[in-house]
A and B are shown apart, each in its own frame.
Chain A
Amino acid sequence: MSFPSFNLLAQSILSGIFIGSLYGLIGLGLGLTWGLLRQINLSHFGLVFLSAYMSYHMATVWHMDPWLSLLILPPLFFAFGVGMQWVMARFQISPFNSLLVTFGIAVVIESLIQAIWTADFRRMETHYNDMKFSVGSLYVPIPELLTLLLSVSIALLIWAAMRYTDLGKALRAMAEDGQIAAAFGINQKGMSLMLAGVCAALAAVAGICLAMTFTLTPSQIFAWVGVVFAVVMLGGLGSAMGPLVGGIIIGVSEAITMAVASPSWAPIVSFSLLIFLLLLRPGKI
């Protein structure tokens, strides 16, 4: 273990914040369905990658600007999310069975991606790729910065919606006790359809951000599950700001570990942190 220079450390923390905001963005949709609909939605990861591949295709093959896919993909995914929730509600899936069904969906999506784009590595080529600016001695890459801004603004938007609008209050009441909420006139079915749609749309946004910064391969879908689960639990199920905060905590702690020790030690910090939080602050998570 060697102590890195201040500059390297600062650059690490910065990149930790960037990757953390992507963790948070992926975790946001996952945590909302988990906390409010009691579904552990593994297909969320599949949708993120599907969106990433679609935006890759639009940008690299059709030469569209990635921001255009930000207008096209979320509505499409919203519709898919609504359809999926309709089926889940129709069959009254229990929380752990939801894990299995959505795992099945994730596997189908993975096969679909593999069939269309093959298992080769894919990298989105856009003019944003090499854009960066520097603050002092620190480099700030534009795609990462955009991810951070998107992640923060979406989290704030959802937080405000949950807190101040009637729709948000109804959602929280529904999460607390669905039957009672229904008795007070909340349209449980409609709300959950809408929420599932929103979460799928969030997956689409996260996927576009992912494609801008990462090289894609289908088997990567499940590589993100562990760390994003940790982010969601750390931030709190059903919370809007929580995943972003949890994501940045984990992202930064990973980045510092990578700089101080070695990249292969990175997972231990976040997961040990999670274990201690679960044991020492039970019920607060």
Chain B
Amino acid sequence: MNKTVIGILAAGALLASVPWLGLPAFYESFLYLVCHWAILALSWNILSGYSGYFSFGHGAFFGIGMYTSAGLAAHLNWPFLWTLPAAALMAALLGLGLGVVVFRVKSVRGELFALLTLAVTFVVGTIVLNTRIDGGPGIYLNAVAVPAIGPSASSSLYLLALAGAVATMLIAYKVQSSKLGIGLFAIHDDEDVAEVMGVPTFRYKLLAFALSCSLAGLAGGIHALFVSYVTAGETFNITVPLTVVLMSVLGGTRHWAGPAVGALFITVLLFMSAGSNPVAGKAAVGVILIVVILFMPNGILGYFFKRRVAVQGAVPVVQDPAVPLAAAHAPAAAPVRQANLATRGEPKVLLEVQGLSKAFTGVQALDQVSLQVHEGEILGLLGPNGSGKSTFINVVSGHYAATGGAIFFEGRQLAGLPAHQIAQAGIARTYQIPRPFAHMSVLQNVALVAMFGGAALNHQQATEEAWKWLEFTGLQDKANALPDDLNLHQRKFLELTRALASRPRLVLLDEVLSGLTPAEINEAIELIRKIRERGATIVFVEHVMRAVMALADRVAVLNHGKLIAVGPSQEVMRNPEVVSAYLGTPHA
């Protein structure tokens, strides 16, 4: 167990002793409310803070838990403790059902997701109010026995909430430091890129949502007994989601403990203001909120951890510059080209596309393209602007779904698979306009791909792998910088490093050279050569003809979505159809 886990458990044990100190019951209800809000805010943060899917529906899941517990305990006379797992389960099921539908619709992100979940709250609330679940008058829990955990009823409730809060903290911490958490943070920054880099985005969002909802349901279940009278109007409204968002953002959504800090802060404020002058107290809460957000836009914890970009795992592996790169750390999984050449037989086909088509409403971006990529070669993909080169890369990498045709990679059909499975099969790509994960350091950007891509390394190995590739591309000095601090040349190289760190068998490069100076282009050409020497097969889209001629073993030319020529570079460039595609047909 690491220090954080021990710390959480120790704090929990310490707080668990409060009921035996003989303090007035007032303190127990105060501490109960802190724990209650901590569970809600921390659980909200697991989906919404980590992945950026801001939910305004936490009230719905909290409310489902509340009504499940209240109904089972008051109407069906279940022992109260047995209703709590049921409350968590019901909330999780609602979350899963909603997630399966909502997470499939790509455009429901950001504020649309917030709104949709808010609407779900009102729909669920209306159904509960008008059916036998509530029926209008609400549910009384006066007759339900409080489980005798502590010396008194209020202390028992407090201990229940405390246990829930400790469990939620452990889960929130574990999720953040796990592969799931890293994937969720990637989704936060750029979901499409995360998917293409191998993050199973749909599954991760669903998992986080289910976790988040079940914990909210648990909090609701306990709260039903605490308030002992449950009504739809008090449950399914905007107060719970607003308070929870407030607490999390105030505490800091990018740190697992942020929402707990926010919960403590706001609950203390509300308690202090509840005394002599409630109106002035409320106004004070409002003013403090305004001031804190204005001066600490990343939350309290975000403010204190501002300048610390966490360097996770390993320290830099110091390489002896005299040792050749390939000898020092040749990626074990990558095929060695020399072995392939040695056979001297027919070239082995790594990727084969057959009749590949992609239509955007009305525009045929790829039209029946059939093409083979041989293992170990560098294939240049050329064509005028709008000829379908980038679409080719987008379809093969799974960014777009093909509208027709087949893609075989090492004999396996890839068309129709989600992008993360294509990445895990060993295909990596770069984006023409670099799309790094903005809130992750350069090192974390690269390590993420080593974890989720074809290499599938664990956290420690992935960080070591990332260092190796950063040294390979010369970005090691920038490892702890954020992508925003890089210039274009460095960002392009970061794209490249990311692609390499997954130990791909096939690399798709989309105009890595555009926008670079001649000197930088020379550097990049050398780098691409080195990548091939290490065994990867490369397909690259490029307009810089000097680079194409220097690098490509073969070139393929697209025009209006059709493949018009493929073969050795010199030969293809003399092909009259290729010449006319670039220069137009002579009319003389």
Tell me if B86 is interfacial: C-beta within 8 Å of chain A: no
Tell me if B148 is interfacial: C-beta within 8 Å of chain A: no
User: Is the pair A274, B106 in contact by a Cβ cutoff of 8 Å?
Assistant: no
B73 → chain A closest CB, angstroms: 25
User: Is the pair A108, B107 in contact by a Cβ cutoff of 8 Å?
Assistant: no
A267 → chain B closest CB, angstroms: 5
Tell me if A275 is interfacial: C-beta within 8 Å of chain B: yes
Kindly count the residue-residue contacts between A and B in the assembled complex, taking CB atoms under 8 Å apart: 129
User: Is the pair A267, B297 in contact by a Cβ cutoff of 8 Å?
Assistant: no
User: Is the pair A99, B282 in contact by a Cβ cutoff of 8 Å?
Assistant: no
Interface size class of A (residues with CB under 8 A): 35 or more
A238 → chain B closest CB, angstroms: 12
B118's partner among A103, A114, A226, A285 (CB-CB below 8 A) is: A226
Complex Cα distance A276/B289, Å?
A: 35
> Which residue in chain A gives the minimum CB-CB distance to B123?
A271
B120's partner among A40, A99, A111, A275 (CB-CB below 8 A) is: A275
Residues of A near B130 (CB, < 8 A) are 262, 264-265
User: Is the pair B279, A93 in contact by a Cβ cutoff of 8 Å?
Assistant: no
| Sample (28) of A-B pairs whose CB atoms are under 8 Å apart | A40-B111, A87-B294, A91-B294, A91-B295, A93-B294, A93-B297, A97-B249, A100-B245, A100-B293, A101-B289, A101-B293, A101-B294, A104-B286, A104-B287, A108-B286, A111-B282, A114-B282, A229-B115, A267-B126, A268-B127, A271-B122, A274-B115, A274-B119, A275-B119, A278-B112, A282-B112, A283-B107, A285-B112
Tell me the residues in window 114-148 of chain B with beta carbons closer than 8 Å to chain A beta carbons: 115-116, 118-123, 125-127, 129-130, 136
> Which residue in chain A gives the minimum CB-CB distance to B119?
A271
Complex Cα distance A285/B108, Å?
A: 10
Tell me if A144 is interfacial: C-beta within 8 Å of chain B: no
B283's partner among A103, A111, A229 (CB-CB below 8 A) is: A111
Give chain B's interface secondary structure class: helix
Complex Cα distance A268/B123, Å?
A: 5
Tell me if A95 is interfacial: C-beta within 8 Å of chain B: yes
Given contacts A97-B297, A111-B286, 10 further A-B contacts (CB under 8 A): A95-B111, A97-B293, A107-B289, A110-B282, A111-B280, A225-B238, A230-B115, A268-B126, A271-B123, A278-B108
Evaluate whether A107 and B286 lie within 8 angstroms (CB atoms) in the complex, with A265-B130, A279-B105 already known. Answer: yes
User: Is the pair B282, A107 in contact by a Cβ cutoff of 8 Å?
Assistant: yes
Complex Cα distance A210/B111, Å?
A: 27
Tell me if B363 is interfacial: C-beta within 8 Å of chain A: no
User: Is the pair A104, B297 in contact by a Cβ cutoff of 8 Å?
Assistant: no
Tell me if B250 is interfacial: C-beta within 8 Å of chain A: yes
A275 → chain B closest CB, angstroms: 5
Tell me if A94 is interfacial: C-beta within 8 Å of chain B: yes
Tell me the residues in window 222-274 of chain B with beta carbons closer than 8 Å to chain A beta carbons: 237-239, 242, 245-246, 249-250
User: Is the pair B246, A112 in contact by a Cβ cutoff of 8 Å?
Assistant: no
Evaluate whether A267 and B125 lie within 8 angstroms (CB atoms) in the complex, with A108-B286, A115-B279, A222-B238 already known. Answer: yes
Tell me if B285 is interfacial: C-beta within 8 Å of chain A: yes
Tell me if A105 is interfacial: C-beta within 8 Å of chain B: yes
* Proximity string of chain B (91-123) to chain A, C-beta cutoff 8 Å, 1 when within and 0 when not: 000000000011001111001100110111111
Residues of B near A107 (CB, < 8 A) are 282-283, 285-286, 289
Tell me if B54 is interfacial: C-beta within 8 Å of chain A: yes
* Proximity string of chain A (102-124) to chain B, C-beta cutoff 8 Å, 1 when within and 0 when not: 01111110111011000000000
Evaluate whether A279 and B126 lie within 8 angstroms (CB atoms) in the complex, with A91-B297, A104-B289, A233-B115 already known. Answer: no
Tell me if B290 is interfacial: C-beta within 8 Å of chain A: yes
Complex Cα distance A115/B111, Å?
A: 34
Tell me if A5 is interfacial: C-beta within 8 Å of chain B: no
Tell me if A139 is interfacial: C-beta within 8 Å of chain B: no
Complex Cα distance A278/B102, Å?
A: 9
A40 → chain B closest CB, angstroms: 7
Complex Cα distance A124/B126, Å?
A: 31
Evaluate whether A230 and B119 lie within 8 angstroms (CB atoms) in the complex, with A222-B239, A282-B107 already known. Answer: yes
> Which residue in chain B gives the minimum CB-CB distance to A90?
B294
Residues of A near B293 (CB, < 8 A) are 93, 97, 100-101, 104
Residues of A near B238 (CB, < 8 A) are 222, 225-226
Enumerate the 9 nearest inter-chain pairs by beta-carbon distance, A residue then B residue, closest first.
A107-B286, A282-B107, A111-B283, A104-B289, A108-B286, A104-B290, A271-B119, A268-B126, A104-B286
B311 → chain A closest CB, angstroms: 26
